[in-house]
Amino acid sequence: MAAPVRPTAALDLSADVVAITRAICDVPSVSGDEGPLADLIVEALADAAHLEVVRDGDTIVARTNLGRDRRVVIAGHLDTVPINDNLPTQYEEVDGRGILWGRGTVDMKAGVAVQLKLAYELAEPAVDVTWMWYDHEEVSADLNGLGRVLRVHPELFHADFAILGEPTRAEVEGGCNGTLRAELRATGRRAHSARSWVGENAIHKLAPALERLAAYEAETVRVDGLDYREGLNAVLVHGGVAGNVIPDEAVLTLNYRFAPSRSVADARAHVRELFPEYEVTVTDSAEGARPGLDDPLARQFVRAVGGEARPKYGWTDVARFSALGIPAVNFGPGDPLLAHADDERVDCDEIVACERALRDWLTGSAA
């Protein structure tokens, strides 16, 4: 498929939120190529006199400075995973409901569209708001735009509460699990496979670890009233030299998703305790985030949105705010099970519902 033609028209933030979603989805912004979309957003916000706009690379921060007692950060990432014949967007009605198909509709441009429209239109919110739209979320954490801006402009992160527009089916999901990736390494001795008895098969030495993982029963841990389901799984296996050689090295990569009541140090210790006979190398890790639902702003937000808060099982950037002592939740349109899928699609009613809920809460008109 030829790359979708980039729209040259200005981004109209006075349009309805579904139209804005479609417009920004049709601007390809795979990680590393967020610039054109960031340009359009900066241009669209140029006449919003109530906002102070700061751009760092392809991350845009826009904030009100009304002297309110409380400040809220509302953030969303601009990048997507690679396109796979699923742009430009397509709209259809299914059983009377509008469905928007295409890359980024779920993760997470529908949430960004909601934020952009509200940032543009709400000149007098009941709390001061710092809006953040950032680059490089879908790739290595050291490239993440939020992390970069935090290092360069930490003052922009001063807030009492944060909302991240990750897809949650228009429900509140509090905090997130932590994540750890580790490699288990087994060593042996090479030999010709016709004389295997003079060698030691490193791949075979991974069998106990695989059996242990298959039998592992992950915990469900209650944290601040929410039940976080953990997981420990093999995700990659690497080994072998040739079709007639007994391998002398094999590596099993596992991923541990752990409840936010545990630290990365706890997670490392748990993995090493489970596999004491292996060389264990931790290759990546990130702390989880407690839900922080005891904060008054968080409780107020959950009441305004309606329903009960749920746990977020995957890692998200709420953890960056939690590490700063800022309670943070996930809230946005879209089914997270469809994130990154080739048939990625969002129910337009969820986009509208998220806009309405956030608007009512920010203006103080929520019941």
CB atoms within 10 A of CB 76: 24
The Cα–Cα gap between 181 and 192 comes to 33
Q: Is 137 a catalytic residue?
A: yes
Which position among 58, 79, 107, 160 bears the catalytic label? 79
In terms of Cα–Cα distance, which of 199, 201, 203 is closest to 250?
Answer: 203
CB 283 within 8 A of CB 310: no
DSSP 42-94: HHHTTT-TT-EEEEETTEEEEE--S--S-EEEEEEE--BSPP-S--S-EEEEE
Which position among 137, 160, 166, 248 bears the catalytic label? 137
CB 4 within 8 A of CB 87: yes
The Cα–Cα gap between 316 and 130 comes to 19
Q: Which amino acid, 362? A: L
Q: Is 79 a catalytic residue?
A: yes
Contacts of 99 (CB under 8 A, 6+ apart): 91, 92, 93, 345, 346, 347, 348
User: Catalytic site residues?
Assistant: 79, 137
